[in-house]
Amino acid sequence: MTRRTPLHDRHLAAGARMTDFGGWDMPLHYGSQMEEHHRVRRAAGMFDVSHMLAVDVIGADAMAFLRRLLANDVARLDAPGRGLYSCMLNPSGGVVDDLIVHRFDDHRHRLVVNAGNAESDVAWMLECRDAWRMDAHITPRRDLAMLAVQGPAARAAVWRAHPAWQTVTEDVPTFTAAESGPALVARTGYTGEDGFEITLPADSAGALWDALLADGVQPCGLGARDTLRLEAGMNLHGADMDAHTSPLECGLAWTVDRRTDRDFVGRGALERQTPARAQVGLRLHERGVLRGHMRVRTACGDGEITSGTFSPTLGFSIALARVPRDNGAVPRPGTSVEVDVRGRWLAASIVKPPFVRHGQSLLEPRPFCC
């Protein structure tokens, strides 16, 4: 039986088409995925992301534990509420999960992990903590709900719905969270737009949802969330990387701390690796839609699309792909490739993600070749 978020009844009342996602009954769209996508790019949309899991890490060794657990370094977080994107690796350097961690002080942090990996993530954290004999209490917070409100008008809409939050968040920089009573309001997102991801008690989520809805904020489902994140060049665990994929091969080398000599899980394996593949962006120059697992033909050998879609903002198909390196280097933007789209080899070119930021294309204009 699939699990339900605290907002499940509101999704049904809004006419959502529901789907199973990571064991949760989640809205795919509310009628028009395209309209939801454009609403986020042009105004504001809201997503129920309560299927994701907040995990509190509290204790005398909390910071030391996370510095050993994560590939990115939480010691870089120099102010309360500051956030960091990181991979959590296994000993072979594969990506167990990607997550966001916020630091409030040396002894108190909060992680947000992916829904499909939540149980295994917590089990891995507990296994590591116990093996290292550290004082770090790891508490999954299923008593909380999470809403993401994204778009150029998102912050103003949240402040109208909950005026008390404006005082504590108006000057908060990106990738920083502010606490307001039991709520955590983080200026983060998965769309390439400004906005907030709000964690609050489950029994308070409905009132916030209703207030935002009354203000004209568009409910959005998983379909629009995926096209938005792909335009923003953001990875999806289980598609663009997994426990068998190194961050050095999926465009996440920038999240691996190489500035310090600290030991973290997977570091030794990464230092022994010579990546043969690299993650690149693709744009299609013919009519068609790029999808995951499609074969990519390059001058250096074959690669594979990991995520692909039609971009509503750009009006053509885009993708993330892993392709062979060119004498150890990432293939240059503009390099021509071909993609096997349902038995037809279609022309595409390599581009550097992200494709879209704040509603604007980051790609050089180039017409369809035919």
Q: Are 36 and 45 in contact (CB under 8 A)?
A: yes
360, 341, 334, 349: which is closest to 231 by C-alpha? 360
pLDDT of residue 368: 38
Per-residue pLDDT of 97-119, as tens digits, reads: 999 999 999 999 999 999 999 99
Q: What is the mean pLDDT of residues 29-50?
A: 98
Residue 245 has pLDDT above 70, yes or no: yes
Per-residue pLDDT of 192-222, as tens digits, reads: 999 999 999 999 999 999 999 999 999 999 9
Q: How far apart are CA 61 and CA 72, in angstroms?
A: 17
Q: What is the mean pLDDT of residues 130-154?
A: 98
Percent above pLDDT 70 for the chain: 98
- Mean confidence (pLDDT) of the chain: 96
pLDDT of residue 340: 98
Residue 165 has pLDDT above 90, yes or no: yes
pLDDT of residue 1: 83
Per-residue pLDDT of 52-89, as tens digits, reads: 999 999 999 999 999 999 999 999 999 999 999 999 99
DSSP secondary structure, 63-125, as one string = HHHHHHHBSS-GGG--STTBEEEEEEE-TTS-EEEEEEEEEEETTEEEEEE-GGGHHHHHHHH
Per-residue pLDDT of 292-345, as tens digits, reads: 999 999 999 999 999 999 999 999 999 999 999 999 999 999 999 999 999 999
Q: How far apart are CA 280 and CA 31, in angstroms?
A: 32
Residue 191 DSSP code: S
Per-residue pLDDT of 248-284, as tens digits, reads: 999 999 999 999 999 999 999 999 999 999 999 999 9
What structural domains does the chain harbor? 8-48+142-231 (3.30.1360.120), 276-361 (2.40.30.110)
pLDDT of residue 370: 32
Q: pTM value?
A: 0.96
Residue labelled with tokens 């594969």: 94
